[in-house]
Structure 1
Amino acid sequence: MDNNFFFGHKIEDRSYLSFIKREIHNLIAKTAFSSMRAGELDIVVSELLSNLIKHAGSGEIFFKLSDTENNSKAFEIYCIDNGPGNNNIGKMMKDGVSSSNTLGHGLGAIERLSNFFQIYSIAKWGTVAYAKILMDEAQKKIVLPRKDIHVDTLQVCMPGENVCGDGYQIRKINNETQIFLGDGLGHGPNAHEAVQKAIEAFNECQETDPTDILRFMHQKVKKTRGLVGTIASYNHTKKEWKVCGVGNITTRFYEGLTSKKIMSHNGIIGLNIPSFLNSHVLSDTDYQHIVMFSDGIRNHWDLHQYPGILKYASPIIAAAIFKDNARRNDDMTLLMGRVN
């Protein structure tokens, strides 16, 4: 699982667009994207940025290159704005429909050229959009594997930093899928070092219970400034979760709009953890989401405030939460997973 964060830019007027498109082009030029696929990606980016300026006036974008399961690359991009929004985005997706006297082909082109694209909007709230473009298999839409855990993560550095003090990792061991999310104390290089050492320990540990993994991790990161972290482990045979955390990583399980918050133990991994740790055990249910986030995301939100959001994929849900609750004065990570 790749652990690279999203590059972020605020867009305040049209003069920003050429700089951002050039930055994305330079990023893609380092990969094996074909010239044709790179051109299609450029169209997607141009349409997203143009729509943001045209309809909202300003906003934010986040983008990165990520690894795929077949050792290829994918380009991911979020667009987030606080503009007027639209309660009938389905109508706007149709070619020829425009609210700004244009040809109305923009959203349709983005959908056709992306391997995955969704957009969510509420009148007087704004809009979030997410697109993913695969380097290979340009004509195939993304299909989620069944009987597996699919995870999407929106991770952004504290503004002004070029390394992230948050980190996450996913691994499969025996019949379990385990998710780790950590937050090094503070931010910057020292926080980044702490969370990367924790990820190394997580990958190295042969234990399967989250409590045992955290104890192992605690010993391995003692020479760092320390971190907070949570491990969620899903047993595919028992169809149940075990979750244990130390510090202020928040973990919630959503079953529809009903949520259950998992309490973490007090302490700092690498400095002081309780002598007694216990895991919370939860059964898997249909349409269940696990949401984990660092303290760069405010805790006081609920999915009830986003009408129809559960019809959308995890990146859109994450983007809506991020839009309203990112503190933007710390590293920010929001991880969403579900069992297919």
Structure 2
Amino acid sequence: MVSNIEWSYHAFQRNKKEYDVCGDSFFIGEFQQRLVCVVADGLGSGPNAHDSAERVTQAVSTYGATLSLQQLMHKCNDVLRMQRGAVASIMYIDFEQQTLQYCGVGNISCYFIHDNKVSYPKPHYGYLAGKRIEPFVETISFTVGDRCFLHSDGIEVNEITQLIDDTTWQALEHDDTEQYLTYKDDDLTYVMLNF
């Protein structure tokens, strides 16, 4: 552990029916004083989308310990030059400072649950493909008991306020999602973080 704060996560992923690989990718790892989480969605579906999403998570796992969050998003953009492209959301969680830094490009959705309220960190519009981007970093303070829910666009949350409820959270951790999530005919990924 990076600190005395207990944390846990749950992830679910499914590829689009006609493909053998998922066009989404995720990575969660600890680097000394920070926890790093990324969800990436390669543009389209199939092997090329899978490759682009994997390039993002590989960059995060390689450089997440040393780069600032904005630098890391630029690195993810650089590795997708001349590739299919991807959208991605990355979080740095600092347990000593009890802060969460968020940087997103594209339509990965992120919900932060604190004090029975849901907030939505804002992503930068567009996608990663080696072209110029100006990603911004949002910093949020968190306390023990807070949660995050990230998902690719293959999922819609039926009622956002249900994410506040412990019953909903427990059901989602067991992939009992029918009442809470709508799945599209697409690659899909969701990641849940508990602090």
What TM-score, normalized by structure 1, do the two folds share?
Answer: 0.52
Matches within 5 A, 1:214-225: 214-225=73-84
Structure 2 equivalent of residue 293 of structure 1? 151
The CA deviation at 1:322 is 7.5
Aligned to 1:337: 193
Percent identity, aligned pairs only, is: 21
2:157 matches 1:320: no
- Where in structure 2 are there 5+ consecutive unaligned residues? none
SS for the counterpart of 1:171 is strand
Give yes or no for the alignment of 1:265 onto 2:121. no
Name the counterpart of 1:254.
113
* Residue 233 (structure 1) aligned to one of 84, 92, 117: 92
Q: Which of 161, 164, 168 is the equivalent residue of 2:22? A: 164
Cα RMSD (Å): 2.4
Deviations 1:47-78 (A, max 9, x none): xxxxxxxxxxxxxxxxxxxxxxxxxxxxxxxx
Aligned to 1:128: none
Instruction: Look up the SS of the partner of 2:26 in the other structure.
Output: strand
**Does structure 1 residue 197 correspond to structure 2 residue 47?**
no
* Higher-RCO chain (CA-CA 8 Å, sequence separation at least 6): 2
C-alpha distance 274-301 of structure 1, shift in aligned 2 (>3 A) = same
Aligned partners of 2:79 and 2:130 also within 8 Å: no
Q: CA deviation at 1:174?
A: 2.9
AA aligned to 2:27 is Q
User: Which residue, 13, 30, 33 being the options, matches 1:175?
Assistant: 33
Q: 1:322 and 1:154, CA in 2 relative to 1: closer, same or farther beyond 3 A? A: farther
Task: Describe the superposition over 1:149-183 as per-residue Cα deviations: whole angstroms up to 9, x where unpaired.
Answer: 31100111111211000000012223000001100
Question: Cα deviation per residue 1:12-46 (whole Å; 9 max; x = unaligned)?
Answer: xxxxxxxxxxxxxxxxxxxxxxxxxxxxxxxxxxx
> For 1:65-92, what per-residue CA distance to the aligned partner results, in whole angstroms no more than 9, with x for missing partners?
xxxxxxxxxxxxxxxxxxxxxxxxxxxx
Q: 1:91 is matched with which residue?
A: none
Answer yes or no: is the 8 Å Cα contact 2:158–2:181 preserved in 1.
Answer: no
Which is greater in Rg?
Answer: 1
Q: Answer 1 or 2: which has greater strand percent.
A: 2
| Partner SS state of residue 287, structure 1 | coil
Unaligned runs of 5+ in 1: 1-144
Residue pair 2:117, 2:164 contacting (<8 A) in 1 also: no
Matched residue SS, 1:309? helix
Between the two proteins, the alignment pairs up a number of residues equal to 192
Q: 1:321 to 1:282 in 2, by over 3 A?
A: farther
Q: CA deviation at 1:303?
A: 4.0
Partner Cα distance (1:311, 1:201) in 2: 30
Cα gap change, 1:307/1:285 in structure 2, threshold over 3 Å: closer, same or farther? closer
